[in-house]
DNA sequence: TCAAAAGTGTTAGGCATACACCCATGT
DNA sequence: ACATGGGTGTATGCCTAACACTTTTGA
């Protein structure tokens, strides 16, 4: 649509803020939801725990989502399958040590804890999983990251409650028992089997795969896949 | 918390994107929801209709919300009472005429149409109210502003459905009839009087003001205020 | 035969819709 | 008297939680 003859940067009239992305990676395990945290090495908040993140690189990142993917790929050597933007926060005082004005775009993601081997990265002395309940009441986290964790947990749980199943996170095939266990781990509470299945059926969210059955130490279960 | 000895800006290692805020102002009127649009004078999208917005000014704006308030105050000479962030969008190609990488933080607001007198502003040849239904199907809007309008309408309506009443927008005192009419205008459909009132009562959302009654050409109505 | 998980049916209660109905006031 | 909007009660149906129950396998 643009009729400009040049796509090169006009130097902006005013200085722009320092822009970062932060990612709240939630991890599923038998012992409830976990969150991935790293210990900061540099100011501000040196030594304190924080969400992993990194600066936006306008030379490397096509768009904001790509920036979040790149930053997390550098940290985890893993392309996060389920990544959603939560909110943008920014102010003059956010990161005084590095810039007079800092803006962070916060994302959330969801993985299995055993898919990520906590490793040390740039500017972070290692990464560690922490239970979300613990993190949400930890007032020593850097920046406003405690709020961001609470927001990520709330949004993720709301999505599961509404059975807006995280496409890209749910495995391609599964039994209904596995799917229910997954939702229960995210919610942190038990669900009623009958109600859960009726909802899935009525809203046509899952489809049985003809002939595919999964057997264990008990009665074999029908294997399903997501609709669409 | 920071132990840095200096709060002055370190020059960032990498160039930063051009950051703007855009505001989707929804307007209430007897003829349904409206949205405030302006006609662009400069590239990109010169001549096309767009949401009002402006560049973030790190020298003027304390934080993102303040930036949105300032930008809209310049345009409307009005401090928007109800302002919420929706999403941040950004990419290399967003605004090629002005910058190689552009990021917009989108807000939504809600006002009475008669509180805003459409006037001409900087870089906009006037502002005009347009019905949201019309705007949502108008593919000639600049940038992705059609999507942003749809998002604003959906979020606003969801809030009213859930009776998360827009604090700061609902007048300080009102009758239940007025409140219901307000919600109906936002939703664009009629509500059942009895159900509406029962919900308000059960969730303790409103409180009658002792002795305060509002009379018209019919039976006087109890005046209420929001709880908390 | 038993434990364990799959899978189904049934019941009771909460909530929302729709609608009917009275009340109070100005014209 | 009557139109108008305020205000309240009630019946119906839907959705859900809760729980009981049967089925099928491996151990």
- CA A217 to C1' D25, whole Å: 7
**B11: pLDDT strictly greater than 70:** no
Provide the pLDDT for residue B123: 61
**A7: pLDDT strictly greater than 50:** no
As a whole number, mean pLDDT of residues A89-106 equals 96
Percent pLDDT > 70 in chain B is 90
Closest residue in B to A48 (Cα) is B1
Put simply, the answer to whether B12 touches A99 (Cβ < 8 Å) is: yes
Provide the pLDDT for residue A83: 94
Protein contacts on strand C: list nucleotides below 7 Å from a Cβ: 3-10, 16-20, 23-27
The Cα of A158 is separated from the nearest Cα of chain B by a number of Å equal to: 14
Place of tokens 């939630």: A26
Choice among A31-35, A125-129, B80-84 with the minimum mean pLDDT: A125-129
Angle at CA of residue A166, ends A60 and A38, nearest 5°: 55
- CA A201 to C1' C15, whole Å: 22
Put simply, the answer to whether A4 touches B43 (Cβ < 8 Å) is: yes
Provide the pLDDT for residue B152: 97
The Cα of B106 is separated from the nearest Cα of chain A by a number of Å equal to: 10
Distance CA A168, CA A226 (A): 10
**A125: pLDDT strictly greater than 80:** no
The Cα of B42 is separated from the nearest Cα of chain A by a number of Å equal to: 10
Range among A181-190, B99-108, B113-122 rated most confident? B99-108
Provide the pLDDT for residue A227: 86
pLDDT digits (tens, 9 = 90+) for A169-185: 889 999 999 999 999 99
**pTM for this predicted structure:** 0.91
- Nearest residue to nucleotide D20 when comparing alpha carbons to its C1'? A194
Put simply, the answer to whether B62 touches A92 (Cβ < 8 Å) is: yes
Of A2, A7, A85, the CB nearest to B88: A85
Mean pLDDT, chain A, rounded, equals: 89
Residues 6+ positions from A117 with CB-CB distance below 8 Å: none
Residues 6+ positions from A123 with CB-CB distance below 8 Å: A40, A41, A42
Count other Cβ atoms within 10 Å, centred on residue B93. Answer: 12
Secondary structure (DSSP) of A73-108: HHHHSS--S-EEEEEEEEETTTTTTT-SSEEEEEEE
- Count interface pairs A-B at CB distance under 8 A: 140
Of A46, A55, A63, the CB nearest to B91: A63
């Amino acid at each position: 649509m643009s009729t400009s003859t040049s796509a090169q940067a006009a130097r902006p009239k005013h200085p722009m803020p320092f822009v970062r992305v932060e990612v709240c990676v939630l991890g599923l395990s038998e012992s409830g939801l976990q969150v991935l945290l790293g210990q900061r090495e540099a100011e501000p908040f040196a030594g304190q725990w924080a969400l992993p993140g990194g600066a936006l690189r306008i030379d490397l990142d096509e768009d904001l989502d790509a920036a979040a993917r790149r930053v997390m790929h550098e940290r985890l050597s893993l392309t996060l399958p389920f990544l959603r933007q939560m909110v943008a926060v920014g102010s003059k005082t956010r990161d005084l040590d590095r810039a007079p004005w800092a803006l962070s775009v916060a994302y959330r993601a969801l993985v299995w804890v055993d898919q990520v081997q906590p490793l040390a990265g740039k500017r972070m002395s290692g990464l560690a999983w922490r239970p979300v309940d613990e993190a949400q009441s930890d007032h020593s986290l850097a920046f406003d990251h405690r709020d961001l964790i609470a927001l990520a947990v709330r949004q993720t749980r709301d999505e599961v409650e509404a059975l807006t199943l995280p496409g890209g996170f749910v495995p391609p095939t599964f039994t209904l028992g596995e799917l229910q266990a997954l939702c229960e781990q995210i919610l942190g509470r038990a669900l009623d089997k009958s109600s859960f299945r009726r909802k899935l059926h009525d809203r046509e969210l899952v489809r049985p795969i003809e002939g595919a059955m999964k057997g264990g130490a008990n009665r074999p279960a029908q294997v399903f896949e997501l609709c669409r």
